[in-house]
Amino acid sequence: MGAGLVTAQAYGLTRFRVNHHIRFHWDMADISLIVPTILVTGPLHFAEIRKDGKAQDVVNFLLETEGTKTEILGDLKDSGWALQRIRVEQSGRSWEEDELIALGDG
């Protein structure tokens, strides 16, 4: 079996013969997404999740990857993980109290 076929099978391709030619077919159920993710410390990591995965799946994948949690935390104590929305606001914008409360922790 050639290296190309091994690679093709690893990416969810199924091999079959048609008129003495080898053809490949994508098995859509096996396809996963590779999500580029920049950590707060700067480095780029790639998380592999299901095609119907959620942002939390990316976080879980990265936390399960050896060394990533230590890379993010450094010497800080692990107190849990959450997703945070990044907002861009006009510099010097005045905030009302109810706007700040509505933002919560994210």
Q: Which pLDDT tens digit goes with each residue over 17-69?
A: 445 555 555 555 567 889 998 888 888 989 989 888 888 899 899 888 888 88
> pTM value?
0.52
Residue 28 is predicted with a pLDDT of 55
Strand partners, 37: 45
Q: How far apart are CA 98 and CA 3, in angstroms?
A: 60
23 lies in the same domain as 37: no
Residue 101 is predicted with a pLDDT of 86
Containing domain of residue 5, as a range? Answer: 1-30
39 lies in the same domain as 75: yes
71 lies in the same domain as 81: yes
Q: What single DSSP character describes residue 33?
A: E
How many distinct structural domains can be found in the chain? Answer: 2
22 lies in the same domain as 39: no
CA distances from 67 to 10, 24, 29, 82, 106 (A): 25, 37, 30, 19, 25
